[in-house]
């Protein structure tokens, strides 16, 4: 280590001599016990006092040691302006009065601050050491020169009094230097900033806090200058903290509770410690001054108070006390929860007790009412119980004591009380004479005795429902007796009786009456019916049962059709009684069975009648034609059109041709044509086949008029025929337009699609629309095709569509047909 600050050197022979004088460096470091020690270099460690050293190293600077390079060129540093003698004398006096100031005694406002430019003003940075001087006469030395610098600046646009730069952004005054009072470090005597620097570079207040934090963190690495022992810090726990800690540990899951009971051996300290849970390890760092001690060295002092057993016992007592506090808190919380739970249990038991007392009171009242009913039903009682009074008693039970009424055995109660009264009430009852007798009282008992759930016909239901048992055992025997004596052809009284009781009687009992009692009687009567001899039509005593029996009568229709077909074998269309007998059955039979019956039994007779019709324009007999047309509403339009095409129009067109070939009166022919056309209804005339026949007649008449060359022709005949043709075809067009408008209105009312979507896109959509209008099922047959075309069911008819044409399956081949004919066949 260099001792240059203790030994001086002789300038002549270089012999080191001990210097005992007190220098300024010694005075400054006397009050700085933590001064930086000089680090021994490698050369000093090797040569000791013979090591080479510079004279400048005798006093270490604040900026650190720096080796001097004597090979570098000489550089001069400005030392400021020369002071006068008076100023130097005042400065020497001020230096003698100065004393070194500690860093801790410097006021805060004199601590150097950060500039707004972002750089830190470090104490190691060197500043200008020259004195402060006014810059009013700055540059006045140029008057002793030629002033080349000022001239060059003015040529380049410099304006005196303004800053340098393109936009005059440079500073006007040079950088000022502020003289430090003593020889202390930078910032030791307060802020060294000049007013100009404060104006150009204002400080940021928020940087003060950053600097304080930096100094605070820096001081943590320094050794305590006082060298005193650190005062121990104690941590305290309140009872509330212990309670909160106990509640948190209580919420551990089951696996965590198991881990909390594991024995743990801690060997991290100076002695081995045993913990009985992982949670106790966290308590270890809460004990003050519990860090492991360093082994005693040569210079270290032994501890004055070291009793590990006492410390262990005290810590054990503290732990036990904490556990007792936590356990007491848990026990207190448990007792409080138990008090709350018991209070709720007391409230519940009080509610149950009040409910049971109320139930006992209600049951006692119900028992009194039942005993009163039994007393009044005893024979010889002065005030016997009636059915109405019994119904009022049951109403009271149902309204005021509903729970007890539902819980009681109503079947046994009704059997014991109501059944005897009900037998007495219906003792002299005749259902056919007074069909509404007892309906009101039975309806009242239905609401009192019937269960809420729907019941089926079984013995179990009878045993659980009092009303069904009452109707089956009391009311049903009277019905069986009256049906056994009832005549089916006198159906009015029986139908009225069942209509009156249909809403009162259980459904399964009504089904039993219709299936087991009424239907066998009707079936037997139909078998004995003869349409040729009986004067009473069969529909008069069968059709009244349709609302009640509906599909149950379906087995009777087949024998009725067979009997009617046998009766029509010798029938002639001139006999109108057949229509009166068959007309009521049109809406009863299914459309398919009705059409088959008509085609088999009626259409052939009508075809024979049309064959017998003689068309004579001069003397026409219309009886046979009227007999056929009278069946228009009974047979389908397609069947009627088929009859006319086969048996009427060939003869009618033949008569027209023969008449036109004999120089006829075209006015009479026109009247004859219009007269026959008026015989048909609009529905028949709208059929395409009928239109074609009448259009064919018009074409024949037009050809007859146009081909009569050279022969005599009635004046105006050609114009009359042309006018007739035009009128008839215009009527057909108007009728078709009206039909289309009517169909469009029907589709709009039914809501089939929007206005744009109501028009069918293809022929299949048109068939689908027509099927929906006439309630006909139209759907594809799965897995069935004919010549690659999908088969469909249109009602009961199998069809397929090819190029906009409908083909219907015939006996041997597929026959094309029109859409209207398809609808008529499906109906």
Dump pLDDT digits (tens) for 445-502. 887 777 644 444 444 455 557 788 888 888 888 889 898 888 988 888 899 999 989 8
Minimum mean pLDDT among 86-90, 113-117, 242-246, 598-602: which range? 113-117
pLDDT at 336 over 90: yes
Q: What is the pLDDT of residue 224?
A: 56
**Contact present, 114 and 211 (Cβ < 8 Å):** yes
Q: What average pLDDT does the structure give for the chain?
A: 74
Examine residue 815 and state whether it is found in any structural domain, yes or no.
Answer: yes
Q: Which has more confidence, 63 or 563? A: 563
**Contact present, 588 and 537 (Cβ < 8 Å):** no
Locate 441 and state its tokens. 């009282």
Measured N-to-C along each axis, helices 410-425 and 308-376 cross at an angle, to the nearest 10 degrees, of: 10
**Contact present, 211 and 111 (Cβ < 8 Å):** yes
Looking at 37-123, list the stretches that DSSP marks H as alpha helix, in order from N- to C-terminal side: 42-47, 85-97
Examine residue 776 and state whether it is found in any structural domain, yes or no.
Answer: yes
Question: In which band, very low, low, confident or very high, does the pLDDT at 120 lie, cut at 50, 70 and 90?
Answer: very low
Examine residue 123 and state whether it is found in any structural domain, yes or no.
Answer: no
Q: What is the pLDDT of residue 462?
A: 56
Alpha-carbon distance of 172 to 572, in angstroms, equals: 141
Minimum mean pLDDT among 142-146, 724-728, 746-750: which range? 746-750
Q: Which phi and psi angles does 229 have, rounded to 5°?
A: -75, 140
pLDDT at 337 over 90: yes
Q: What is the pLDDT of residue 191?
A: 77
User: What share of the chain has pLDDT > 70, as a percent?
Assistant: 67
Examine residue 770 and state whether it is found in any structural domain, yes or no.
Answer: yes
> Mean per-residue pLDDT for 35-42?
65
Q: What is the pLDDT of residue 34?
A: 61
pLDDT tens digits for 219-277? 666 655 555 556 667 778 888 888 887 777 666 544 555 556 778 888 887 778 888 77
Q: What is the pLDDT of residue 269?
A: 77
Q: Which has more confidence, 294 or 162? A: 162
Alpha-carbon distance of 446 to 466, in angstroms, equals: 9
**Contact present, 563 and 531 (Cβ < 8 Å):** yes
Alpha-carbon distance of 11 to 739, in angstroms, equals: 144
Q: Which phi and psi angles does 669 have, rounded to 5°?
A: -65, -40
Q: What is the pLDDT of residue 381?
A: 74
Q: What is the pLDDT of residue 331?
A: 92
Examine residue 780 and state whether it is found in any structural domain, yes or no.
Answer: yes
How many CB atoms within 10 Å of residue 410? 22
Q: What is the pLDDT of residue 7?
A: 47
Q: What is the pLDDT of residue 468?
A: 84
743 closest CA partner among 670, 819, 656, 667: 819
Q: What is the pLDDT of residue 106?
A: 43
Q: Which has more confidence, 16 or 784? A: 784
Examine residue 354 and state whether it is found in any structural domain, yes or no.
Answer: no
End-to-end CA distance of the chain: 132
Examine residue 665 and state whether it is found in any structural domain, yes or no.
Answer: no
Question: In which band, very low, low, confident or very high, does the pLDDT at 334 lie, cut at 50, 70 and 90?
Answer: very high
pTM of the predicted structure, to 2 decimals: 0.47
| 227 dihedral zone (left: phi>0; alpha: psi -120 to 50; beta) | left
Torsion of Cα atoms, 178 then 180 then 186 then 190, to 10°: -90
Q: What is the pLDDT of residue 76?
A: 53
Q: Which has more confidence, 670 or 300? A: 670
Alpha-carbon distance of 810 to 815, in angstroms, equals: 6
Examine residue 688 and state whether it is found in any structural domain, yes or no.
Answer: no
101 closest CA partner among 37, 38, 36, 27: 27
Q: At 805, which helix (H) or strand (E)? A: strand 805-809
Alpha-carbon distance of 610 to 627, in angstroms, equals: 9
Only one residue has tokens 């004398």, namely: 89
Alpha-carbon distance of 150 to 146, in angstroms, equals: 9
Give residue 788's domain range: 763-826
Minimum mean pLDDT among 206-215, 622-631, 701-710: which range? 701-710
**Contact present, 348 and 265 (Cβ < 8 Å):** no
Number of folded domains in the chain?
A: 1
Query: What is the length of the chain?
Result: 827
Question: Which residues have a Cβ under 8 Å from the Cβ of 136 and sit 6 or more positions away?
Answer: none
């Amino acid at each position: 280590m260099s001792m240059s600050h203790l030994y001086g050197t002789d300038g002549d022979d270089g012999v080191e001599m001990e210097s005992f004088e007190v220098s300024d460096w010694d005075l400054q470091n006397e009050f700085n016990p933590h001064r930086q020690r000089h680090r021994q270099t490698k050369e000093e460690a090797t040569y000791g006092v013979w090591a080479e050293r510079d004279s400048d190293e005798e006093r270490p600077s604040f900026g650190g040691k720096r080796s001097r390079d004597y090979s570098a060129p000489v550089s001069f540093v400005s030392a400021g302006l020369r002071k006068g003698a008076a100023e130097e004398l005042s400065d020497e006096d001020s230096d003698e009065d100065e004393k070194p100031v500690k860093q801790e005694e410097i006021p805060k406002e004199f601590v150097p601050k950060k500039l707004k430019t972002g750089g830190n003003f470090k104490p190691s940075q060197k500043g200008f050491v020259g004195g402060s001087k006014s810059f009013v006469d700055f540059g006045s030395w140029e008057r002793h020169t030629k002033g080349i610098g000022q001239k060059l600046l003015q040529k380049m646009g410099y304006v005196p009094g303004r800053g340098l730069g393109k936009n005059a952004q440079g500073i006007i005054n040079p950088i000022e230097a502020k003289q430090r009072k003593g020889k202390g470090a930078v910032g030791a005597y307060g802020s060294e900033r000049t007013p100009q620097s404060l104006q150009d570079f204002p400080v940021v207040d928020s940087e003060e806090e950053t600097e304080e934090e930096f100094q605070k963190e820096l001081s943590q690495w320094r050794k305590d200058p006082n060298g005193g022992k650190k005062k121990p810090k104690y941590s305290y726990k309140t009872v509330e903290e212990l309670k909160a800690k106990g509640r948190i540990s209580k919420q551990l899951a089951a696996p965590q509770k198991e881990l909390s009971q594991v024995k743990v051996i801690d060997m991290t300290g100076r002695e081995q410690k045993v913990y009985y849970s992982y949670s106790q390890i966290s308590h270890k760092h809460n004990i003050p001054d519990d860090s492991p001690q360093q082994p005693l060295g040569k210079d270290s002092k032994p501890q004055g108070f070291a009793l590990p057993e006492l410390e262990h016992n005290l810590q054990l007592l503290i732990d036990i006390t904490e556990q007792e506090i936590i356990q007491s808190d848990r026990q207190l919380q448990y007792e409080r929860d138990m008090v709350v739970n018991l209070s709720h249990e007391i409230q519940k038991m009080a509610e149950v007790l009040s409910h049971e007392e109320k139930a006992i009171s209600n049951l006692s009242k119900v028992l009194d009412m039942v005993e009163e009913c039994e007393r009044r039903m005893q024979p010889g009682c002065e005030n016997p119980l009636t059915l109405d009074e019994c119904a009022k008693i049951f109403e009271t039970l149902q309204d005021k004591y509903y729970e007890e009424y539902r819980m009681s055995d109503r079947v046994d109660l009704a059997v014991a009380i109501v059944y005897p009264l009900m037998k007495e009430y219906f003792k002299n009852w005749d259902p056919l004479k007074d069909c509404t007798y007892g309906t009101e009282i039975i309806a009242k008992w239905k609401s009192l005795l019937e269960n809420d759930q729907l019941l089926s016909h079984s013995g179990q239901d009878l045993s659980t429902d009092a009303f069904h048992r009452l109707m089956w055992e009391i009311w049903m025997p009277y019905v069986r007796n009256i049906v056994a004596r009832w005549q089916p052809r006198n159906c009015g009284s029986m139908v009225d009786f069942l209509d009156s009781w249909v809403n009162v009687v259980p459904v399964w009992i009504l089904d039993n009456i219709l299936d087991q009692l009424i239907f066998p009687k009707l079936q037997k009567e139909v078998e004995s019916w003869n349409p040729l001899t009986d004067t009473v039509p069969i529909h008069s005593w069968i059709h009244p049962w349709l609302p009640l029996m509906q599909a149950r009568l379906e087995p009777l229709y087949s024998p009725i059709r067979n009997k009617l077909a046998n009766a029509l074998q010798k029938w002639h269309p001139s006999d109108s009684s057949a229509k009166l007998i068959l007309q009521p059955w049109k809406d009863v039979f299914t459309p398919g069975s009705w059409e088959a019956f008509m085609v088999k039994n009626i259409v052939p007779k009508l075809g024979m009648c049309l064959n017998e019709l003689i068309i004579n324009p001069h003397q026409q007999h219309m009886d046979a034609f009227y007999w056929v047309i009278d069946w228009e509403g009974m047979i389908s339009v397609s069947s009627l059109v088929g009859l006319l095409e086969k048996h009427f129009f060939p003869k009618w067109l033949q008569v027209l041709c023969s008449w036109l070939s004999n120089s006829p009166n075209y006015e009479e022919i026109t009247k004859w044509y219009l007269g026959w056309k008026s015989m048909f209804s609009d529905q028949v005339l709208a059929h395409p086949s009928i239109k074609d026949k009448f259009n064919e007649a018009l074409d024949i008449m037009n050809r007859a008029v146009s081909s009569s060359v050279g022969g005599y022709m009635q004046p105006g005949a050609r114009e009359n025929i042309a006018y007739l043709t035009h009128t008839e075809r215009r009527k057909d067009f108007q009728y078709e337009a009206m039909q289309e408008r009517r169909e469009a209105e029907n589709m709009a009312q039914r809501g089939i699609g929007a206005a744009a979507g109501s028009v069918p896109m293809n022929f299949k959509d048109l068939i689908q629309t027509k099927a929906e209008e006439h309630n006909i099922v139209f759907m594809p047959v799965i897995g069935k095709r004919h010549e690659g075309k999908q088969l469909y069911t249109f009602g009961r008819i199998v069809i397929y569509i090819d190029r906009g044409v409908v083909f219907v399956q015939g006996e041997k081949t597929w026959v094309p047909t029109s859409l209207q004919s398809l609808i008529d066949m499906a109906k």
